Chains A and B, each alone.
Chain A
Amino acid sequence: MRYTFLLYSDPADFADMTPEDWEAEKQLYGAYIAALNEAGAFLDTDWLQPVNTATTLTTKGGTRQVQDGPFAETKERLGGYFAVDVPDLDAALAWAEKCPAARHGRIEIRPSAMSEG
């Protein structure tokens, strides 16, 4: 079953990180992706730019409306995601626990609503 990990964190927690710290983070994510791949669980991932780059669009109500900024202003921001394919929620939880993002922020685990196959 497909699950998406939505990675939320507070940007303030990363304010003091040095370029070396970021390099170390990248290594951790690289190792995590490799582990997911090896287990045949990896589907997709992305790391998003900060919310000041966000643009929000809707055609709800029949007209196209475009807004500067994220959909919701919250302290913790969506910073990226992983899509994985594992048998059940326990397996998804086990992978989320290993995700480097869990150390600094929160991971929302959502099952896919798309039919399998």
Chain B
Amino acid sequence: MSQTARAAEQAARDSYGRLLAFLAARTGDIALAEDALAEAFAAALTHWPTRGVPDTPDAWLLRVARNSMTDRQRHIARFHSPEESPEMVAPDDAGADALPDDRLALLLVCAHPAIARDLHTPLMLQTVLGLDAATIARVFMVSAPALTKRLVRAKSKVRDARIPFVIPGPDALPERAEAVMEAVYAAHTVDWLAPSDMMGGEALYLADLLVRLLPDLPEARGLAALIAYGHARRAARVVDDVLVPTDQQDMALWDADLSRYGDGHLAAALAHAAPGRFQIEAAIQQVHMARAATGATDWAALNKLYFALLQVAPSAGALVAQAVVTGKVHGPAAGLAALDAVAGSVGADVQPLWAARADLLAEAGEIA
């Protein structure tokens, strides 16, 4: 995608997410805000082609959405206890940029500990990016009606249990931001497993947004870099339906812009001297990307980085990757021994374990 197209796409996404966050934060009711915004977009489709696009489309959308919301609340009020009309002081003649940005509060609500962990990512994709439940269900390989129902219930809980749209104080923010990052990482992971579903762009958008919202959080920058490096290789990752290992990918297919974007954020993150899991994972990806400049993969550097990663965030994937790197540094026999050592702790049903074993056995065979 060209820089311009990317900028246009980001602007459109920013607009939806900001409008929804603004409406939801002021009512505590995500579903109400979604319905009102959908109505506003539908009205735009009828009015704009004939009357022309307003000078400030976002302000126009916001005005229509607010009116729709007030109507709906009046309607609801006939059946339930009357709620106060939501206070929404927003300049009518300005774009979404003039609105207070409530997207961090919205992201924190989506990843609130009172919301089931496996709904954090789907809620973010739906509210911040406006994806529909059917698309999200397909990406996560779950039933669409079941996910739809769970998302509706989660939004009802946010409203009825009154989960607040606030930025918590410095004592609670790190833990809450961690949950947001985990959810963004999960969007990245699902793309990684099934790249054809193209959730990578969404994950990158969310990670980039989080950096814009929390610029001083080094792990957020690490996460953005990590996802950018992965997304930079999307065209090279799968050839003829087969996953190609990073060290064998055609580097001509890598996205140099995204790679530089990753370098920038990783450098800014590391400047804080507060390393964490996402920064280390990004550094691992950066070593892979460096092959484009040096022509070789620095396995010794990867070995050290995986060692560090296993200290802060042990996982089956990292254990297997570490064994593979051991094979590259010390030979396939050492790699196979390392793989045997980790097989017990990661479980035999981990697919990458078998793929790694096959590769190492093939290499050992070539040498013998």
Q: Could you tell me which A residues sit within 8 Å of B by CB distance?
A: 1, 87-90, 93, 109, 111, 115-116
Contacts and interface: CB of A to CB of B under 8 A. Distances in A.
Nearest to B162: A88
B81 A89 contact: no
A93 B114 contact: yes
A6 B112 CA distance: 21
A32 to B, nearest CB: 21
Which of the four size classes fits the interface of chain B? Answer: 10 to 19
Contacts of A88: 162-164, 166
A90 B166 CA distance: 10
B276 to A, nearest CB: 25
A105 B162 CA distance: 24
A90 B164 contact: yes
Interface string B85-119: 00000000000000000000000000011100000
A90 B168 CA distance: 9
Nearest to A88: B164
A97 to B, nearest CB: 11
Given A93-B114, A115-B81, A87 B161 contact: no
Interface string B27-47: 000000000000000000000
B359 to A, nearest CB: 47
Nearest to B108: A90
A107 B72 CA distance: 35
A116 B83 CA distance: 10
A64 to B, nearest CB: 32
A1 B162 contact: yes
A48 B163 CA distance: 29
Contacts of A116: 81
A73 B161 CA distance: 27
Contacts of B168: 90
Which interface residue of A90, A111, A116 has the most chain B CB atoms within 10 A?
A: A90
Interface in B108-136: 112-114
A111 B160 contact: yes
Nearest to A90: B164
B164 to A, nearest CB: 4
Contacts of A1: 162
Contacts of B166: 88, 90
A89 B113 CA distance: 11
Nearest to A110: B161
A35 B159 CA distance: 28
